[in-house]
Amino acid sequence: MTALDRRLLSDNTEIGADGMLTVGGCSVAAVAEEYGTPVFIYDEAHLRARCREAVESFGRDRAIYATKAFLCRAMARLAYDEGMLLDVASGGELHVAMAAGVPASACTLHGNNKSVAELRLAIEAGVRHVIVDSFDEFDRIEALVAGGAGAVPDVVLRITPGVSAHTHEFISTGQNDSKFGFNLENGDAHRAVDRARRSDGVNLVGVHCHIGSNVFEASSFAKAAEVMADFAIPLDLPELVLGGGLGVAYVEGEEAPSIAQWASVLLDACESLGVRSRVSVEPGRSIAAAAAMTVYTVGTIKDIPGVRTYVSVDGGMSDNPRPVLYGSGYESFLPRAVDDPRDRTARLVGKHCESGDVLAFNAQLPSDVEVGDLLAMPVTGAYGHSMGSNYNKITRPPVVFCADGDARLVVRRESFDDLLATDVFSGR
């Protein structure tokens, strides 16, 4: 096998004089020594560059960062400072964004089953708009406004356009059989528009769709734009939100459009279709994924002759559940030997009490990998930290932003005492 394709690494990675990989001028080995492993190492300038690309491609206040991809206060503030709005999918995400100093007016609230408490928080705080997902949600919002919870909120209706994206079924959302949104084909979308226009509890400002996540084919986005344009143009509303979902390359051989290319496809399609509404999008993965790598320490190498070799690291499905959930592929390499041939095949596994705790089913590694080596997995900046868990009471890893030779801790490693923070055991 060949060496790692360096195009999978973040923008600001280099090989140091000692042969060790650096990120943003910071030695991976030094970061691992200071903060331990596993650790998420983010290239901060890469994050900023992708935010700027989105803003420059779509326009200010038209690029909305999907915080579900990766969120902490530092990330919320970074995206906002670079000119992006924030798309939050829960009351918790909204709370984190506001705790970072991001005004609620720069946030949009998503969710297929928003609670009364979440809606009250959003309305009272004054979010930019609420993306209404169901008729039941209309009832909740109208009751809150009638009860004096706050001003009548601007709302956008989430429409299910009947466009199937070429992606895993668990992250495909635009098809008719979906828990999300008002179905266009069966008439629910038109009924929702009528309901919103007759309501005293909402102010309808636009429509929205999202066809899925990690989509590589620009044609899928163009098809969604065409369907939504046919629906939106007669409504003559100010906002048309075409969601996110732009894919990224995780393994060798994958290719994905850049944010600028994605913008060109969407905006050209909307212009040719005669869309007059302001078009906005919600990128998340394409902002954060390639910005980070997860660095582990190899703890056990188990060779079963005639069967396979297992390489076990000190993390696993608790910091990256995507391989187990979706069969997602990742590359792996040794930061001390980035350009070495990876001619040893192994199953890369974590430390959890679960046979399914697999990070890579057929990982390619240098033949001299040994216990104690640092092992890195690139393109883990989205849906790693955000989907992490405490399975087996494993403490979640820290997050470190690296830029200009400075490694900045933005999320500390959890401690064993953190595992007891919500435990109300009284001793009886």
Domains along the sequence of the chain with CATH: 6-43+290-420 (2.40.37.10), 44-288 (3.20.20.10)
Give pLDDT tens digits for 69-105: 999 999 999 999 999 999 999 999 999 999 999 999 9
Nearest to 5 by CA among 247, 296, 370, 249: 249
Q: What is the predicted pLDDT for the residue at 39?
A: 98
Beta bridge partners of 281: 63
Q: What is the predicted pLDDT for the residue at 171?
A: 35
Residues of the chain predicted below pLDDT 50: 166-174
Q: What is the predicted pLDDT for the residue at 12?
A: 98
The single-letter code of the amino acid at 147 is G
The reported pTM is: 0.95
Give pLDDT tens digits for 361-407: 999 999 999 999 999 999 999 999 999 999 999 999 999 999 999 99
Name every residue whose Cβ is closer than 8 Å to that of residue 250 and which is 6 or more positions away in sequence.
8, 289, 328, 329, 330, 331, 379
Q: What is the predicted pLDDT for the residue at 179?
A: 87
The SS3 call for residue 391 is helix
Q: What is the predicted pLDDT for the residue at 178?
A: 79
CB 245 within 8 A of CB 284: no
Q: DSSP state, 53?
A: H
Is 107 a known active-site residue?
Answer: no
Nearest to 387 by CA among 262, 251, 213: 213
Marked catalytic residue, from 72, 270, 353, 402: 353
